[in-house]
Amino acid sequence: MKALKSRVVEPRTGLPIVAGLSDQARAFQRAGKAKSTQRAYLSDAGQFATWCTEHGFDPMPASPLVVLEFLSHEATRGSKASTIARRLAAIRYAHKLAGERDPTDDEGLREGLRGIRREIGTRPKQKAAATADILAALLMRTPDTLTGQRDRALLALGFAGAFRRSELVALDVADLVQDPDGLRVLVRRSKTDQEGQGVEKAIPHGRFIRPVALLREWLDEARITEGPVFRPVNKAGRVEARRLGVKTVERVMKHYCAAAGLDASTFGAHSLRAGYITTAAERGADLARIMDQSGHRDPRTVVGYIRRANAFKGHSGSGFL
């Protein structure tokens, strides 16, 4: 069998394909990455290819010095350390797909990257946590309309399950199983479960947020019995058949934060997840049980939330400051 050795760069993307591979083979090759990662890499590789073209460089194969110049350009125009790291990963991924030498495996480049990280800093800008008290304030601002009912269910369930927004909008009615103590929700695929083994989250009825009741009210009023749980409501007040987009979760969150008089710019879709973890930590919940609900695999991430939540509890200086 003749070896596959040719490669071309896909137009407008910058990601390479190996000539001779079938569409299905390429699809499986790309499926090794999450769809969100694929989208980010396509964008990053495309930006790198565009920059190279503008400056007279060849993006494939690229030299370590060209990659460092590109990353330096990104740093000087204000890109965050996390964004630069993702750009680097996309370039590495593109070259591996093309069967080319990895230009990021270079000590000079690594030294330059360390300098960039030292100069711009690596501390992430974290969104504010929408704790139980904040969530209650948001729920009070939702109107008594079909859209308001959807938003109440979206916010309450997103908080109660410590869901990522992608997990939340991916839910189908078939993923919901009633239980005497609440609701069992099947997350079929997540950031930490790309192969789709699935994980079940328990959502209690609750006495204050009442996520199960709010979800049931939305489904009943919207007459949703199958398919996507969360859907758009058009201007005529009719529920559409399609699934709600992930960006809508962010918009809903910011809308009600502004309505509650909060600085909406400090909140995002992740605030619901962070809010659950923070509230659970404040109430003394066990680390393992918090991780059961959030789906975190690395306890260090959750410990960070716990430390912030309990920063003043049992403070070493509380007895003499």
Chain segment 207-260, per-residue pLDDT in tens: 899 999 999 999 999 999 999 999 999 988 899 999 999 899 999 999 999 999
CATH of the domain at 156: 1.10.443.10
Instruction: Name the token pair of 246.
Output: 């992930």
Q: Do 193 and 292 reside in the same domain of the chain?
A: yes
Q: At what angle do helices 146-160 and 132-140 cross, to 10 degrees?
A: 170
pLDDT at position 62 over 60: yes
Q: Do 189 and 70 reside in the same domain of the chain?
A: no
- Residue 304 within any structural domain of the chain: yes
- Residue 7 within any structural domain of the chain: no
CATH of the domain at 34: 1.10.150.130
Active-site residues: which are they? 164, 191, 270, 273, 296, 305
Specify the DSSP class assigned to residue 259. H
- Residue 248 within any structural domain of the chain: yes
pLDDT at position 145 over 90: yes
- Residue 9 within any structural domain of the chain: no
Q: Which of 9-18, 32-41, 149-158 has the highest mean pLDDT?
A: 149-158
Domain count, the chain: 2
Q: Do 141 and 264 reside in the same domain of the chain?
A: yes
Using DSSP, how many helices (H) and how many strands (E) does the chain show?
A: 13, 5
pLDDT at position 3 over 70: no
- DSSP assignment of 16-57, as one string? EEETT--HHHHHHHHTTS-HHHHHHHHHHHHHHHHHHHHHT-
pLDDT at 10: 46
Chain segment 25-60, per-residue pLDDT in tens: 555 555 556 667 778 888 888 888 889 888 888 888
Q: Do 155 and 96 reside in the same domain of the chain?
A: no
Instruction: Name the token pair of 172.
Output: 């189908």
Q: Do 204 and 65 reside in the same domain of the chain?
A: no
Q: Do 230 and 274 reside in the same domain of the chain?
A: yes
pLDDT at 127: 75
**Considering the entire predicted model, what is its pTM?**
0.66
Preceding amide of 61 cis, omega within 30: yes
Look up the domain containing 235 and give its range.
132-310
- Residue 6 within any structural domain of the chain: no
Q: Do 179 and 115 reside in the same domain of the chain?
A: no
Q: Which of 42-46, 125-129, 177-181 has the highest mean pLDDT?
A: 177-181
Chain segment 276-288, per-residue pLDDT in tens: 888 888 887 778 7
- Residue 37 within any structural domain of the chain: yes
Q: Do 81 and 167 reside in the same domain of the chain?
A: no
Q: Do 39 and 159 reside in the same domain of the chain?
A: no
Q: Do 175 and 285 reside in the same domain of the chain?
A: yes
- Residue 18 within any structural domain of the chain: no
- d(CA 123, CA 12) in angstroms, rounded, equals 32
pLDDT at position 102 over 60: yes
Strand stretches in 58-131, DSSP E: none
Average pLDDT, the chain: 81
Q: Do 100 and 177 reside in the same domain of the chain?
A: no
Q: Do 31 and 139 reside in the same domain of the chain?
A: no
